[in-house]
Structure 1
């Protein structure tokens, strides 16, 4: 019997912070890592956002890929990280969709601007969890 091979993607959600006073580098907005996300962010809203981006980039193939294969295994609202489980043959397509996403739609319908950073791609969830714990320290 053949085993289904999967990949686990550890992803950071980077949110912009707008400051009223000008920064020394003349940059208006800065991305922050591990800034808490709202409590209205759910695994369903994360998967829905990825699915809509996959559909926009790759059409029906992309939409079917995310529907059948992707599962959010872990979502931390405090550190704004999540682990996504996908099939090994499709993880590059999902990574491309994550790289081009600019916002998330929360369960309340509000759009939150953000960027996704894939930190680690692993064959086991244990290594992805170890990296998440290392970053949380």
Structure 2
């Protein structure tokens, strides 16, 4: 029996208005959030899934969002992401492109707190989806910069990566809040942020492969 194979993408939607260049973002290849994994060959085995091979991600990669309450995408972010991706696919690849992925594309989970998003797509078309993501520049009226964090053949592996990345990002946000408070800039909400973050990680753990 042939098993229908999917690809799962972990994406974050950075908000330009919330990015900070004041944090320490020095590259630390010896201590990445998500360690580099060797790509697995697709030999037709039912027990293995081929992976995208990524360079080591710095412990605080590239740019970091700060805590800005008015910059969150909200609980309806998942629906907004679906519509934005569909519009991008049709714009770049036409109706034929959307027809190829419409039946398998799904937003599995969206984190309102960090904008981390889990996407599902049929394996033959995941690069089409990835390409379309690069052309998404807004969700509703909110400008965004999409960034693909990881790609996996199983939701479980992406869960582990997503939870680790989510935990590190929330830690960076809380740390930034503490540093800014020392400088006389009030950001607050550290305790509430930790509780919301823990709830989101629990929701990530409950995701099932579909």
User: TM-score by structure 1 length?
Assistant: 0.80
Shift of 1:34: 7.6
More strand by share: 1
Tell me if the contact between 2:18 and 2:65 (Cα under 8 Å) persists in the aligned partners.
no
Q: 2 CA distance for matches of 1:13 and 1:45?
A: 12
1:67 Cα deviation from its structure 2 partner:
1.9
Gaps spanning 5+ residues in structure 2: where? 23-62, 168-210
Give 3-state SS (helix, strand or coil) of 2:17's partner: strand
Gaps of 5+ in 1: 25-30, 106-110
3-state SS of the aligned residue for 1:2? coil
Q: TM-score, normalised by structure 2?
A: 0.54
With a CA cutoff of 8 Å and minimum separation of 6, indicate the structure with the bigger relative contact order: 1
Q: Which of the residues 97, 115, 120 maps onto 2:132?
A: 97
| Aligned equivalents of 2:95, 2:79: Cα separation in 1 | 19
Runs ≥4 residues deviating over 6 A = none
Cα 1:52–1:3, aligned 2, differ >3 Å: closer, same or farther? same
Query: Bigger CA drift: 65-74 or 123-132?
Result: 65-74
1:28-43, aligned counterparts within 5 Å?
Answer: 32-33=64-65, 37-39=72-74, 41-43=76-78
Distance 1:34 1:7 in 2: 30
Aligned residues: 124
Alpha-carbon separation, structure 2, partners of 1:93 and 1:40? 27
Matched, 1:117 2:147: yes
Alignment partners' CA distance in 2, 1:91 and 1:62: 12
Matched-pair contact (CA < 8 Å) for 1:70–1:87: yes
Alignment match, 2:119: 84
Structure index of larger Rg: 2
Q: Judge conservation of contact 2:116–2:166 (CA < 8 Å) in 1.
A: no
Q: Map 1:10-21 to 2 at 5 A.
A: 10-17=10-17
